[in-house]
Every structure is written in C-alpha cells, then in structure tokens.
Homo-oligomer: A and B are copies of this chain.
Amino acid sequence: MTEPGPGGESLLFLTDEQLRKGIEAMFFAYRGFTADPDRILDGMDYGRAHHRAIHFIHRSPGTTVNNLLNILGVTKQSLNRVLRTLIDDGLVESRVGKQDKRERHLHLTSKGLELERQLSDAQRARMRAAYRAAGPQAVQGFRTVLEAMMDPEMKRQYQTLKEGGA
C-alpha cells in the first residue's frame, strides 16, 4: 500500500518513502550535529551530558537545578552526577538563592565559559556552514519543521528560551 508513483519529486502528497528520507536525514544529521563537541570532549573527563548542562547554564545564567532538570528531561540523580563534577572542577558555580535559600542558582565560571565557547564555536561553525550552504529560505524551513516536530512541552521550553533572552 501507499506505493509511490515513478519516483516523483512532488512534496505535496507525502509518500512513506519521502517520510523515510526525512527520518534518515534526522538520524545522520544529528550525528554530524554532535560530532564536533564529542570530539572535543573526548579525552577530557566530560561527555555529551556535560555539554548539555553547560550549554543551558550558559544560556540561562542563574537557572535553578529544578529548571535545568525540566529542560534536560533527566532525573536529578543523573544531572547531579554531571553537575557535581562540573562544580568540583570549577566550571560551574552553585549559589544559594537569596529569596528562596533552598534553590541553587547555577552560573558558569570563567573556566566554564571558556569550555562553553570552545564547544559552541565548533557546533556553531558547522551550523553556520550548513546555513550558508542551504540559504536563508532553507533555514526558515528547517526551523519551522523542527519546531513542528517537538512535543508541545518541549516546544514551550524552546520558545520560552527563544524569546526569553535577557
């Protein structure tokens, strides 16, 4: 069933074949997406989980642990393991909240900022190259489809972050 015609290029009626290509594009592209930071982190004592924590602390300085938990979608035990090493190594600073002293507000130290820059430089370079190669229209479409693929909850997170910058 849903046999496509003779390999047509029309994107209007979505064949399983076209959807499968989209699925594989996501798979292979995500590999590229993580490859550069992974390469940098390999050899350090850190991994992708540390990268994610650093990224989101950087983009929302002063965020609480709970906040980060929701964004990353992992358990506190899992995050804690990662966070502890980052704090111990002096990349992340954990400040007791002023209003609510139960909360810990997370910030990158200068050392943390340095690693963040290294990692995001690499990732941005690839993204920039892809954007340039594809052109502005493609970029628009890229973001539109990705946004439509997110779970509503994640989309909310994404958009909050998107607007919410300082």
Interface string of A119-152 (1 = CB under 8 A from B): 0100110111111111111111111111111110
> Would A149 and B130 count as touching, CB distance under 8 A?
yes
Contact residues on A (Cβ < 8 Å of other chain), bracket: 35 or more
- Copies per complex of this chain: 2
Q: Which of A86-94, A101-109, A153-161 contacts B (4 or more CB under 8 A)?
A: A153-161
Residue of B nearest to A142 (CB): B145
The minimal Cβ–Cβ distance linking A75 to chain B, given in whole angstroms, is 15
Chain B residue contacts of A14, Cβ below 8 A: 128, 131-132
Flag whether A73 is at the interface (Cβ < 8 A): yes
Tell whether A150 pairs with B22 under 8 Å between CB atoms, given A136-B11, A140-B11, A141-B139: no
In Å, the complex CA distance between A21 and B73 comes to 19
